[in-house]
Structures are given as C-alpha cells and as structure tokens.
C-alpha cells in the first residue's frame, strides 16, 4: 500500500527518538543540536529555493485566472477571478489565504447510467482543509507561550478561547481534537475517493502521518504520559533556544524528545 512506507517511516522516527533520548548525553542532541540544525536547514533551503526561482528565466506571463476578464464596457467581468488593479488583487489574495476560496469552488464529476456525466459541488475538502489549517495555527500560537517571556496578551486570549469548555484536567483544548479530526478526514479522503487514491503518492501521505505523530505525541505528553514532564524545564529550554543560551536544567520524558524530534 502507498501509505505503508510513510507510516513505517514516521513510527521509526518516533521509536528512534524514544530510544535514543534514553542514552546518556543524547538529550542535548535531541533537545538542542537537532532543533538548531533543523532551523539552519530550513532557512538555508528556503533561501536557496528563492534564489533558484529568481534566476530561472520567465519568458512571458502566464495568467492563472478563470473568470471573465476585462474587455468591453458592456461585458460584465469577474473582479475577483480576473483582477486588473491592486485592490482587486488584494481582495483575491485575502480570500485565498484566509478562506481558501479556490477549494470552495471544488467540484466532483461522476458518470451515471446513460452514460451521463454530472458535475456536483463538493465542499468537504474546503471544510477539512479549513479545520486543519486553522487548528494548526491556533496550536502554533498557543506554543508561543513557551518561547516568549513575558507572554503576549494575544497568546493568553487565544489559549483561553481554545480551552473555554474546560474539559478535563489539565484542560483539553478544542484544537487538540479538531487538528486530529482534520488530519483524519484528509487522510480518509485519500483512501475513500478512488480518483484521489489513484494519484496519491507515498510523499503525499508522509506529511499527514508526520503531523499526526506530532499531534499524538503532544496529546500523550499533556494528558497521559506526564511522568518526567516538567513544564518549567521545557520553558527554560525553549527560551534558551530562542536566546541562544539553551540549557536542559532537569529530566524530561522520552515522549518530549519524540515530540520535538518530529517537529524538527
């Protein structure tokens, strides 16, 4: 199966971190060296790709709009699909970035008896993507409290709103559930939809399993495997990483190193 190898790879990374972090001295590699290396690789790779893109020749402009473009005055044009000024471009970009407007137009085609080809609206992908991405954004904002001191008020507001239902102790955040739900729905779509399943490759499944691993290890660390998890030590390490004075001032559980290893 196409998803077997990616799943095995993610599980292998988890077990590697769980076992490796138990070796004396390896905590500094998993907690300090690997995060710094990951940031360097990310920044270096990003700059490299931008430079490569900038040096690539672009002989002509390729329009990517799909609506009625600007022509004669009496022909109604689509201002968002075919923008011609900065304000319309900004409006289109805002809707694409914030609301995933292109996915809202998603349709599916099916062949029925006859034969008869039909096109139907399919908003599920838009909904799944919206739930997943905004849950991920909220989780990232909540984690800023580990890296910043003092904690910005915006982070506190987001954290309060996310845990407003006050389920359990420690409080279960809404995005803990919606992030996993969004991932499972996106993964299920690749399994159930035969067209998507046919074109899916192993590298399409790997990011889904990797983010699932990050979410699951985070939930386990918060609610179930709390032994050896000291939030003060984690805060000290996180602030130290940001200020380039990292230190591991206490013992941290293996699940923490597995979590941060998957993130990196």
Q: Please spell the DSSP secondary structure of 10-68, one letter per residue.
A: HHHHHHHHHHHTTSTTHHHIIIIIHHHHHHHHHHHHHHHHHHHHHHS---S------S-
Q: Cα separation of 219 and 154, whole Å?
A: 23
Judged against a pLDDT cut of 70, whether residue 106 lies above it is answered with no
Q: What pLDDT is attached to residue 34?
A: 94
Cα 52 to chain centroid, rounded: 25
Count other C-beta atoms under 10 Å from residue 210's C-beta.
16
Look up the CATH number of domain 4-21+123-263. 1.20.950.20
Q: What pLDDT is attached to residue 121?
A: 66
Q: Is the peptide bond before 85 cis (omega within 30 degrees of 0)?
A: no
165 by Cβ neighbours in 10 Å (0-12 / 13-18 / 19+) ranks as exposed
Question: What crossing angle do the helices spanning 202-219 and 174-192 adopt, rounded to 10°?
Answer: 160
Nearest C-alpha neighbor of 252 from the set 239, 240, 236: 236
Length reported for the chain: 264
Give the pLDDT band (50/70/90) at residue 119: low
Q: What element of type H or E holds 110?
A: strand 107-112
Q: Cα separation of 11 and 172, whole Å?
A: 25
Nearest C-alpha neighbor of 212 from the set 5, 74, 1, 14: 14
Q: Cα separation of 239 and 246, whole Å?
A: 7
pLDDT tens string 124-171 = 888 888 999 999 999 999 999 999 888 889 998 998 888 887 777 778
- What mean pLDDT is predicted for residues 98-119? 75
Q: What pLDDT is attached to residue 178?
A: 92
Domain residue spans in the chain? 4-21+123-263
What pairs with residue 172 in β-bridges?
167
- What mean pLDDT is predicted for residues 76-95? 84
Q: What pLDDT is attached to residue 60?
A: 67
Q: Cα separation of 21 and 153, whole Å?
A: 35
Judged against a pLDDT cut of 80, whether residue 94 lies above it is answered with yes
List of residues 6+ apart from 142 with CB closer than 8 A: 155, 158, 159, 162, 173, 175
Q: What pLDDT is attached to residue 62?
A: 65
């Amino acid at each position: 199966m196409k998803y077997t190898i990616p799943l095995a790879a993610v599980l292998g990374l988890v077990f590697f971190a769980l076992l490796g972090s138990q070796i004396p001295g390896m905590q500094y590699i998993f907690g300090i060296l690997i995060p710094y290396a990951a940031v360097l690789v990310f920044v270096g790779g990003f700059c490299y790709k931008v430079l490569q893109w900038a040096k690539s020749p672009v002989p002509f402009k390729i329009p990517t709009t799909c609506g009625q473009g600007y022509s004669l005055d009496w022909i109604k044009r689509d201002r968002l699909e075919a923008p011609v000024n900065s304000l319309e471009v900004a409006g289109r970009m805002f809707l694409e970035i914030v609301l995933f407007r292109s996915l809202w137009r998603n349709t599916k085609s099916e062949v029925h008896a006859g034969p008869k080809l039909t096109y139907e609206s399919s908003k599920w992908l838009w909904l799944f993507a919206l739930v997943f991405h905004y849950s991920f954004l909220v989780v990232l904002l909540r984690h800023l409290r580990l890296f910043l001191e003092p904690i910005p008020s915006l982070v506190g507001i987001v954290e309060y709103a996310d845990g407003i239902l006050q389920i359990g102790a420690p409080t279960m955040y809404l995005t803990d559930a919606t992030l996993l739900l969004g991932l499972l729905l996106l993964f299920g779509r690749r399994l159930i939809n035969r067209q998507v399943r046919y074109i899916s490759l192993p590298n399409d499944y790997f990011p889904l399993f990797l983010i699932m691993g990050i979410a699951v290890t985070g939930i386990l660390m918060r609610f179930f495997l709390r032994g050896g998890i000291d939030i003060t030590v984690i805060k000290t390490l996180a602030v130290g990483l940001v200020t380039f004075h990292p230190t591991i001032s206490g013992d941290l559980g293996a699940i923490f190193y597995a979590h941060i290893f998957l993130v990196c």
